[in-house]
Each structure stands twice: as structure tokens, then as C-alpha cells.
Amino acid sequence: MWKQIEFTLRPRTNGFHLVTNEILSRLPELPKVGLLNIFIKHTSAALSVNENADPDVRVDMKSIFDRLIREREPYYTHTMEGDDDMPAHAKASIIGPSVTIPISNGRLNLGTWQGIYLCEFRNYGGARKIVATITGE
């Protein structure tokens, strides 16, 4: 069995956002056993699995990435879309556009402290398009 759906996550500000429940609410019934792959159709945002309990982790992740890849560096040549655009592309490349999560007993088999993050790297990124592909039996 294969299913694929596309949906849009609501717009968020620059930062790391826990979106597990928003994604789950958009998915059809999951198979007993399988895999969920979620893919973001953008080059300035990413998806990740990380800490779902302490919101300080999301704040710290933003601080780390903002220190690693700064805005307005003099060596950037791609600058037409704003100061946050080129750094957003670099950050998105580091994290990546997709995650794959096992499905067990009809539920995502995430660890106790794991959740799905939308990593929004633009100051005003807008709604983000997601493709969810489910396989299983």
C-alpha cells in the first residue's frame, strides 16, 4: 500500500517549531506497519526530528544556527531576496528537506522525547508545502 498527500503547514516565524500534531492531523489513517516520509518543497526551510518536551532546545537550535551562518556576510553573492535568504538556503542544506519515520501499530514510532520540527529559516517564510508518502501494510 502506498499513499501520498500534499498539504500546507501554516506560516511561522524564523525558528524551530514543533509541528508533529499539525502533520498528524493532515495524514490519513496509518498502516499497522510501515514508513512515513515527509518532504518540504522549499529551499529555505527544513524538517528534522528532535526534542519535543523542552522548548529551550528550539531556542538554542535557532541561536546555534544563527551563529554558524550569519546574515549579511560580505562574500554572499545571492542577495536579491533579502538578508535572510542566502543563510536560509545554507541552513536548509545542512538539515535537509525530509525525514523518514517508522510506523508501528498504526502510529509514528518516535522516541518518548522526539517530535517533528519545521525549521523555518526565513523571517517571513509563509506557508510551507509538504509531501507525505506513506507505505506499509
Contact 91, 67 (CB under 8 A): no
pLDDT 10s digits, 22-76: 999 999 999 999 999 999 999 999 999 999 999 999 999 999 999 999 999 999 9
pTM: 0.96
pLDDT 10s digits, 67-95: 999 999 999 999 999 999 999 999 999 99
Q: Which CA distances in Å does 129 have to 45, 97, 125?
A: 10, 11, 11
